[in-house]
Structure 1
Amino acid sequence: MNHQTYHDYGVSMRRHLHQHPELGRQECETQLWCVNQLKQMGYDITLCFGTGFYADLHVSDTLPRLAFRADMDALPATEKPGEVVISQNPGVAHLCGHDLHMAIALTAARMMSDQRTRLQANIRFLFQPSEEMFRGGAKGMIGEGALEGVDAVYGLHNDPQIDCGQIAVHPGIMSSNGDQFRLNIAGKSAHASSPHLGLDALSEAVRLLTAFRAVITDRIDPNKAALISTCMLNAGEAPNILARTAELQGSIRSFDPTVHKMLIGSFMEEIQESRRRGYTVELEMRGYPAINNHPAETQILTETARLFLGEENVLTDHPPMVGSEDFSFFLKEKPGAFFFLGSGDHSNGIDNPLHSNPFIVNEDCILIGAAIFSMLAGL
């Protein structure tokens, strides 16, 4: 099968998946579509963590097993026109490129199946649900055995800020430590004319928001990257009643473990201050550690990509992603590496970051990602 055939297959997979996005933990049709594709290629399927699964291609008992991750979920958004195809599911859209990731995995799986006699490893594809959710899917899949028998694991994320034909990779930190939080603040309602009789949850939410910002300016070395971003605030029921409850949601990010520890400590101090002031505060927080590439596997990946793309197209000094990724949990369990795959098309005047709407990519990156995965497996 020639490269054009694989290219066309990958594009067709991506466009189908792009038109039928599903939210995290709801990827039922996505799971069914991908499972059927892989069964036709001869992969053994194990359903895992609800809507996730992994697919195995066994070559030899004497060979190691390599795993490759593809995340499956879309975002809650109504897609604007601009892409070659558009979401057919109202209020759900692939604005982060997980449709690309699945298409890359399916194309690589087909390459490996077609040329299995040349493979230097047994293969496992991890189709992971709910990467975008408050609680990601990686830990759930690990807990259900998705990494058992795996010797190394590789993953990627498309990056439209990098041109198609390039990748970014280096050993060590590739993303931020990231925690998402939800704070529920309860005070006491009262008439707006008698605020002294109540305990205003809205005012306390604003105090916390301001205090979180002050943590960055007052307590963190300005040479160190750090963020506390409060992105949602819901409070109040009427214009003449003090808010009894308020809800804050946001995220905490940094690259340095010491800085992150200080951020979390300062964050918790402010919550304790609210409690001292008489408010009831409930905190829900889940975090992803930074993606930390293993040196040996990163070297293998880098050398493989240089052979395919040329040394000048493998960016080894690209800064880490400020966002977070639960692929980090896979790398805490097994050796491996993660890279950013250029999906941008700046020569045609297209410049959009992840989560843009519309999210426009160069589909030629599908074959590039699939080829790198396949070369890691010995093709």
Structure 2
Amino acid sequence: MDLKQELFEKLRAKEDRMIEIRRYLHQHPELSFKEAKTAKYIADFYQNKGLDVTVETDINGEHGVIVEIDSGKPGKTLAIRADFDALPIHEETELPFASENPGVMHACGHDGHTAYMLVLAETLAEMKDQLAGKIRVLHQPAEETPPGGALGMIKAGCLEGVDNVVGIHVMSNFPFGKIFYKEGEVQTGRSFFKLTIKGTGGHGSSPHEANDAIVAGSYFVTMAQTIISRRINPFDMGVVTIGSFDGKGSFNVIKDQVVLDGDVRAMTERARNTIGEEIHKLVKGLEVAYSVKCDLEYTTDYPVLYNDPAFTRQAANILQNTKIDRVTDVVETAAIPPSEDFAYYAEKVPSSFIYVGAEVEDKAVYPHHHPKFDINEKSLLICAEAMGAIVVDYLTEA
């Protein structure tokens, strides 16, 4: 029997277990950098199964888990990654396995990532004698919260000796039965900032005796958009969003201080750097124009996620040439606006991040990070078979 088909048969026999694990994790979500119980659950999963694997926990003082599956034969080392943190969202799905932790929810599919990866890794370990090289399983915490869990994993050496990294993300708004890939830039890089504008307060009837922080802040909000329209190459994608403008006060009092929080996204590092430089210039000009004092905290975190073209083509070719039940097509996708800390791995090692359609059937579809977010659980087996196909072909190359 073909090795991939043998793997698929084993995975199909364990599909119910994948779903059971996903539902348990969904009921017991933990926030980024606080996933102690989830990490213990993952590490315990690999114990007492007769698997000859190395399990490393407490990665760089965080809750990551690294599992090494060594075939005992020379070859490449492929890292496969799944994240497992949840979000600070109160769940409204009314699922029978809804979150038992108030205000915390798996609203991005990381419970599904972990469920399929556990079963896949277990199965690959059972079949490792038929492979060559090594598989390094990266169970990563804290994807959702800066600075992200990938940095700690990398600092702890998770990429040492690794030739390539693959990640898969389930997508609730992508059609079920399809797998998506893209070469090159695929998800935005991100920065964020907090701007405190300090003016001089006063009475609304005497604006000439004050320096109005609200007027200065309003000018900043408007001018920040000219960075996108007048400073960014039209062929680059960039977004500046002011998500919070804290200027509440009395109707007849001129505010002496306002605080703005902003989000920056860009599809090239060039555009992201330009936006950052221009925001700093704009803040300096604000001080001169309005006689205010500005404190700017500007943080650059997740890079642009870049899928190595050659490795992504290799992975896509494997998937297109493999018969996977329930998969009707493997197609190229457009770039995706959200950011993803898998980008840190891709900065270090040629990598590819792939998407599996997980649109639910017979009910409303909600986007990621929504309190009614849900996935089609049949997509878990697709994830396992897709990742398994890549691993098998990659580690059995002549």
TM-score by length of 1: 0.91
One-letter amino acid matched to 1:38: Y
Shift of 1:3: 3.7
Q: Do the aligned partners of residues 137 and 3 (structure 1) sit closer, same or farther apart at CA in structure 2, a change above 3 Å counting?
A: closer
Task: Show the counterpart of 2:19.
Answer: 11
Alignment-derived partner of residue 44 in structure 1: 54
User: After the TM superposition, which of the residue ranges 39-48 and 9-18 deviates more from structure 2?
Assistant: 39-48
**Cross-structure match for 1:68:** 80
1:1-379 → structure 2 map (5 Å cutoff)? 2-41=10-49, 42=51, 43-46=53-56, 47-49=58-60, 50-60=62-72, 62-222=74-234, 224-236=236-248, 241-276=253-288, 277-306=291-320, 307-309=322-324, 313-316=329-332, 318-345=333-360, 348-378=362-392
Over the aligned positions, Cα root-mean-square deviation in angstroms equals 2.3
Deviations 1:6-48 (A, max 9, x none): 2111111111111111111111111111111123443322221
**2: distance between equivalents of 1:360 and 1:197?**
55
Q: 1:181 to 1:308 in 2, by over 3 A?
A: farther
Q: Give the secondary structure class of the aligned counterpart of 2:344.
A: helix
SS at 1:368's partner residue?
Answer: helix
Quickly say closer, same or farther: Cα 1:118–1:190, change in 2 above 3 A. Answer: farther
Cα–Cα, structure 1 residues 222 and 64, in superposed 2: closer, same or farther, change >3 Å? closer
Which one-letter code corresponds to 1:118 in the other structure? Q
Aligned-pair distance for 1:193? 4.6
Shift in alpha-carbon separation, 1:308–1:197, aligned structure 2, 3 A? farther
Aligned sequence identity (%): 28
Q: Is the 8 A contact 1:120 1:377 kept in 2?
A: no
- Native 8 Å contact 1:67 1:154 kept in 2: yes
Q: Secondary structure at the match of 1:147?
A: coil
Q: String of CA shifts for 1:124-180, please: whole Å, max 9, x gaps.
A: 111222211132121222112121121211112211221222111122111122222
Looking at structure 1, the residues matched to 300 and 269 of structure 2 have their Cα atoms a distance apart, in angstroms, of: 16
The alpha-carbon distance between structure 1 residues 129 and 245, as it changes in their structure 2 partners (threshold 3 A), is: farther
Write out per-residue CA displacement over residues 58-86 of structure 1, whole angstroms, 9 at most, x where no aligned residue: 22251222111111211111110244521
The residue aligned with 2:3 is: none
User: Partner letter of residue 322 of structure 1?
Assistant: P
Contact 1:121 1:377 in 2 (8 A): no
Alpha-carbon distance change, 39 to 241 in structure 1, aligned in 2, over 3 angstroms: farther
Instruction: Give the Cα–Cα distance (whole angstroms) in 2 for the partners of residues 376 and 143 of structure 1.
Output: 26
Is the alpha carbon distance of 1:187 and 1:70 closer, same or farther for their aligned partners in structure 2, counting shifts above 3 Å?
A: farther
Query: More deviation in 3-12 or 166-175?
Result: 3-12
Structure 1, unaligned runs of 5 or more: none
Higher-Rg structure is 2
C-alpha displacement of 1:100: 1.3
Helix, strand or coil at the partner of 2:300: strand
Runs of 5+ unmatched residues, structure 2: 1-8, 394-398
CA contact (8 A) 1:111 1:374 kept: no
Letter in 1 for 2:27: Q
Larger deviation, residues 62-71 vs 257-266 = 257-266
| TM score, norm. by length of structure 2 | 0.87
